[in-house]
Amino acid sequence: MKKILVIYFTQSGQLHKAVSATLKNLEKDSEISVQYENLQPKTPFPFPWSYIQFFDAFPETVQGIPCEMQPVKFNPDENFDLVIIAYQPWFLSVSRPVNSFLQSPEAARLLKNKKVITILACRNMWLNAQEKMKVHLKKLGADLVGNITYVDRSGNLTSLITVLAFALGGVQDKFLGIFPKYGVSDEELNQSAWKFGDLIKDRLKSGDYSGLQQQLVASGAINIKPNLMIMEGRGKVLFPLYANFILKKGAASSRGRRTRVRIFGIALPTVILLASPLIAIISRLLPLLFPGKTKRETDYYSGTELR
Ligand SMILES: Cc1cc2nc3c(=O)[nH]c(=O)nc-3n(C[C@H](O)[C@H](O)[C@H](O)COP(=O)(O)O)c2cc1C
């Protein structure tokens, strides 16, 4: 019997849906047991979020400051053959509940010398969060052997609007009747997720994960757009600076930092809106001007290594 532990957090259920679509055939296999652990913060994060709550979560998320978590139900000393960490990026960082779990003593006991596969379901900006995840896993002595990312396939500006309608307005369906539904499409999950799972299944049985990520990439498990690579590059530098600027004015949800949070809540969507067209042009030119570098970066972010 091969044992998989899936650690996940989800607000709307999207991430759970993505994982179970991936593991569809593994769950049916009598030689495999799949155990799910739904991480729960002591104080739940709101969903839908109010405008202030949403942007107030930014500084602690970016700086990786842990929140209190409810005790986990799995036994961290049990010898799982594979651990799947399913998470979403928040503000280009690992979402706060998952990030908090990764800093717990249970994570240290569970993940040491374990094979790990990460699965993300998000809007479309996950590169920086995954880099942070790689750093955590390296520190914990875990071996990252695969990564699958499910993203919203709409254009960047469209999904910026629909993710905000979704997270702040709780709009699960077509926003205003004209925008596409936010999130990872059910069709994509039904059609291709199980294929990625089947690749994992073979490796789980043989115990040999070498070359798995290349296979996943070749099957379409990773999708990277150069313009988002550039945008994330800017965010990676600027976000920690602004997070510290807010943190200086007080702890989470304190009144003292509210003005700075509000400014951020206006500035972030505005900057994305204004910068997007320019970055879209640059990103079309980059692969032509610097084909080698663009390919190297895309290959790097498609992989599981940490540079
Ligand atoms: C506070 C917050 C910040 C987010 N930041 C990002 C981000 O930086 N990149 C991204 O691709 N998606 C981002 N998202 C969207 C999430 O990755 C995810 O798609 C959404 O929260 C639904 O996931 P869930 O219901 O499974 O938790 C963010 C969502 C929230 C709530």
- pLDDT, tens only, 122-172: 999 999 999 999 999 999 999 999 999 999 999 888 999 999 999 999 998
Contact 201, 32 (CB under 8 A): yes
**pLDDT tens for residues 222-266?**
989 888 888 899 899 999 999 999 999 999 999 999 999 999 999
Distance 290 CA to ligand 1 centre (A): 31
- pTM for this entry: 0.97
Q: What's the longest Cα–Cα distance across the chain? A: 56
Closest residue CA from atom 31 of ligand 1: 167
Using 50, 70 and 90 to split pLDDT, how confident is the model at 98?
Answer: very high
**pLDDT tens for residues 133-146?**
999 999 999 999 99
Structure tokens belonging to residue 45: 């994060």
pLDDT of residue 60: 98
54 lines ligand 1 (CB under 6 A): yes
| 113-to-33, 80, 94, 107, 247 alpha-carbon distances in Å | 20, 11, 21, 12, 35
Using 50, 70 and 90 to split pLDDT, how confident is the model at 277?
Answer: confident
What's the CA gap between 92 and 90, in Å, rounded?
6
Of 89, 105, 66, nearest in space to 228 by CA: 89
Distance 92 CA to ligand 1 centre (A): 9
Contact 243, 232 (CB under 8 A): no
Candidate of 122, 127, 172, 182 to mutate for ligand 1, largest count of ligand atoms within 8 Å of Cβ: 122
Distance 124 CA to ligand 1 centre (A): 9
Structure tokens belonging to residue 111: 């993940």
What's the CA gap between 265 and 250, in Å, rounded?
17
Mean pLDDT of 169-196: 95
Sequence length of the chain is: 307
